[in-house]
Amino acid sequence: MPVSDSYHDSLIESLKDSHYAAVYLETHLEGDEYEFESELLRLAFNHVLEVLGPQNLTPEQIKIQAQQLEELMQKPAPEAMNQLTSWLQALGLKLTIMIAPKMPEINHENDAVSSIKITG
């Protein structure tokens, strides 16, 4: 079996735990420090819908959720965030805001310009 199939199967099995699904989505929502990956986020939402949809929704509701996700991903950010909250709620999840860990302070002691003094 190809690696991607076994990875997908393993991922889907892990996502059956709603706590894991929440962390999985949270990780994708954070993006990385350089760029937000909307296609990866879309894929993550679809993975969660694939697993949590049947646990929380009828087949017809799953189809509607899939359509709403596609529409949601095309919207401007503020409107999308409002709809995302409802979309997640239908799957038994909710969007939360947390305080980010404090960034370590940068020590400028060894910077080349730190020894320059400006006098007037």
What's the first-to-final CA gap in the chain, in angstroms?
Answer: 73
Token readout for 110 is: 């060894």
What are the boundaries of each domain within the chain? 3-98
Q: Establish how many alpha carbons lie within 13 A of residue 77's alpha carbon, considering only the half-sphere containing its beta carbon.
A: 3
Query: For 1-120, where are the E strands, in sequence order?
Result: none
Residue 58 has what pLDDT? 94
- Mean pLDDT value across the chain: 79
pTM: 0.67
* Structure confidence by residue, pLDDT tens digits, 67-103: 999 998 888 877 887 888 889 999 999 888 666 676 5
Q: What is the DSSP string of 58-78?
A: -HHHHHHHHHHHHHHTTS-HH
